[in-house]
């Protein structure tokens, strides 16, 4: 693996929410037009945060999904739109009052990664999320390559991270998280 590592974000729990299904519907509809996604690479503070921290953007300006209950929209939405063209990471911070207003336990900060999601990957991820099937989205830490895992054991692969060994490692980690019923973002180096 490269020094920049890989990151794995399982965005679908075993019991997906209505919001996750709506995000899946949007990804499925937009896949052919070009899609970008914003995910959380690292975070500090915020207390407990729900699963499925993913925001998607369409070239026409529409967005679906959210990160940190929308508290980071001021950074995440412009990042998603910029990421339609190229991967980019940005830091975002939420004050205590803004966090409480959004329904978060406390203030915090996050490193967000925005990157384009190729049509086939957006479609595969969207279909799985919309249908309530397990899915995981993995990418290189710089957003240059992505892998979508779908299916009951996350055994179906779409895309790749640049090497078979990286894809294997991420698939194993994703399957382990799924067996535990966990939805998580993990940095794998």
- Whether residue 2 is predicted with pLDDT greater than 50 in this model: the reply is no
45-75 tens-digit pLDDT: 776 666 568 999 999 999 999 888 888 899 9
3-state per-residue secondary structure call for 57-105: ECCCCCEEEECHHHCCHHHHHHHHHHCCCCCEEEEEEECHHHHHHHCCC
Percentage of the chain with pLDDT > 70?
A: 84
Enter the tokens of residue 29.
């509809």
Q: Which one has a higher pLDDT value, 178 or 26?
A: 26
Enter the tokens of residue 60.
């026409």
68-95 tens-digit pLDDT: 888 889 999 999 999 999 999 999 998 8
Task: Give the contacts of 87 (CB within 8 A, at least 6 positions apart).
Answer: 113, 114, 115, 116, 142, 143, 144
């Amino acid at each position: 693996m490269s020094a920049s590592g890989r990151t794995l974000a399982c965005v679908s729990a075993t019991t997906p929410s209505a919001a996750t299904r709506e995000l899946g519907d949007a990804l499925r509809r937009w896949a052919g037009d070009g899609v970008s996604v914003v995910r959380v690479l690292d975070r500090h503070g915020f207390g407990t945060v729900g699963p499925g921290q993913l925001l998607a953007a369409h070239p026409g300006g529409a967005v679906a999904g959210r990160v940190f209950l929308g508290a980071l929209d001021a950074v995440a939405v412009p990042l998603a739109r910029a990421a339609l063209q190229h991967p980019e990471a940005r830091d975002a911070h939420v004050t205590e009052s803004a966090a409480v207003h959004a329904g978060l336990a406390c203030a915090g900060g996050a490193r967000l990664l925005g990157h384009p999601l190729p049509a086939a990957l957006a479609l595969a991820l969207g279909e799985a999320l919309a249908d309530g099937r397990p899915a995981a989205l993995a990418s290189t830490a710089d957003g240059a390559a992505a892998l979508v895992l779908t299916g009951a054991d996350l055994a179906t692969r779409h895309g790749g991270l640049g090497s078979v060994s990286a894809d294997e490692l991420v698939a194993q980690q994703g399957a382990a998280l799924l067996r535990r019923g966990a939805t998580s973002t993990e940095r794998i180096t």
